[in-house]
Amino acid sequence: MDLHVEVTATDGRRAGLERSLREAVREGRLAPGERLPASRRLAEELGVSRNTVKAAYDQLVAEGYLTARQGAGTQVAPLLPVHAEPPEAAARAREPRFDLRPGSPDVGTFPAAAWLRALRRAIATAPSLAYDYGDPRGRVELRTALSGYLGRARGVIAPPERIVITSGYVQGLALLTRVLAGGTIAMEDPGLPFHREVVRRGGGVVVPVPVDERGVRAQELGDCAAVVVTPAHQYPTGVTLHPERRRALTDWARARGGLIVEDDYDGEFRYDRQPVGALQGMAPGRVAYLGTASKTLGPALRLGWMVLPPHLVDAVADAKLHSDHHTESIGQLALAELIDSHAYDRHVRACRLRYRRRRDQLLERLGTGRAVRGIAAGLHALVEVDDEARVLERAETEGLAVGSLGEHWHAPGGGAGRQQGLVVGYGTPRERAYPEALDVLRKVLESG
């Protein structure tokens, strides 16, 4: 290992080495457990005798800064006070006992074996240029694979030259906001506050557009540059955009020259009827379709995609180039292989069955007397309540974490007379923990 040590010989080489190592440990530049170079190697690099290095090591061992064991070499000693709690333990202590928060899949189902096979095949066949700087639009292998997959699975008209690979949905939304140059962007109310903040930080002006039992109220869209919608499974209400609203939305875009940003975050997961095709297929020249592997595979991969109208491709690719140049290439190649081998389809189908069983368990445990909305698709449901604040307080007492509808309104608290409810995610808990989490949820609702 390399070790940067500045030794001043004012008080002698040994004292200077001791001081430098002692300061590195105190300042955290050498972390607890870090292994130091062998005395012979460090002596060669510093141009001093081995005895000088060995004597410095022995002195710092005696002072408690280092430890030395036969066969394990010399390491930095743990410096946490005896009463201090390790950071990992403190983080675990802050986690809720039962987690039904929305927004995440069951990452325990990540297809590690299939991904490893795809990664090996991708690396074995990748050209050497795959390890160089690449096209800001992304690897052509993945754009081609997505073109076929999105067309057959989601009804998206997606030529490879109109696809841009991103590091997740959030980057795609930020890039579009930048390209729209600070225009007014309508966003669903209620909707995810984080996405509103992404648009604001990108220079966009956010205006709310209401959502009801038929989805976004397209007739209330004004003179804005774009509207961001979740038509397959609205977040957080769970409604599916009604066909009449779909037509109204695309009519608005054509008449006003506006852009529809379609967030298809969990469109693959539909349970009670045939999947609803993407809105993009109705107006490919006016819809920017954004998808992601975060809900199907896992957020850690940071792989998303945009299918853009022709007039936006170059501008978005340029914004991507000046944002991070391009999304990492090896993961793109592995995902392309996963899609082409149909292992991705198999994984999505398996997840769809698993999440449907969880959805069914949720309905069974809560009973027929409780209004539960948005259950036809996705990874969350909306459970209506009369007093949201009281139920949330009771949930916190029981160690249960859930989402609240109130935090999703554009106006803080949602305003008087607004619908109240819990946004319950059923993707996060592990299989063994899920039934107990539902029992706690039922107890909270019955007592709240």
- Final residue of a domain: which of 344, 363, 378? 344
- pTM over cut 0.75: yes
**Six token digits for residue 103:** 């927004």
Q: Tell me the pLDDT tens digit for each residue of 224-264.
A: 999 999 999 999 999 999 999 999 999 999 999 999 999 99
Mean per-residue pLDDT of the chain: 91
Supply the CATH number for residue 42's domain.
1.10.10.10
Both 305 and 395 in a single domain? no
Q: Strand, coil or helix: what is 178? A: helix
Both 207 and 297 in a single domain? yes
Ranges assigned E (strand) in 120-234: 163-166, 184-189, 205-212, 215-216, 226-229
Contact 243, 281 (CB under 8 A): no
Both 242 and 277 in a single domain? yes
Of the candidate ranges 17-26, 84-93, 295-304, the one whose mean pLDDT is the lowest: 84-93
| pLDDT of residue 416 exceeding 60 | no
| pLDDT of residue 115 exceeding 60 | yes
Both 39 and 66 in a single domain? yes
Q: What is the number of domains present in the chain?
A: 3
Supply the CATH number for residue 309's domain.
3.40.640.10
**Six token digits for residue 445:** 């609702």
Greatest C-alpha distance within the chain = 84
87 found inside a domain:
no
**Six token digits for residue 18:** 């001791």
- Residue 190: is the preceding peptide bond cis (ω within 30°)? yes
Q: Which residue has the higher pLDDT, 264 or 85?
A: 264
pLDDT tier at 82, thresholds 50, 70, 90: very low
Angle at 156 between CA 153 and CA 161, to 5 degrees: 120
Both 133 and 221 in a single domain? yes
Both 156 and 262 in a single domain? yes
Supply the CATH number for residue 397's domain.
3.90.1150.10
7 found inside a domain:
no
Q: Tell me the pLDDT tens digit for each residue of 315-351.
A: 999 999 999 999 999 999 999 999 999 999 999 999 9
Both 58 and 140 in a single domain? no
Q: For residues 210 and 187, what is the distance between their CA atoms, to the nearest angstrom?
A: 9
- Final residue of a domain: which of 344, 370, 397? 344
Domain range enclosing 132:
110-344
91 found inside a domain:
no
Q: Which of 46, 44, 81 is nearest to 21 (CA)?
A: 46
CA distances from 79 to 28, 154, 239, 362 (A): 10, 55, 54, 47
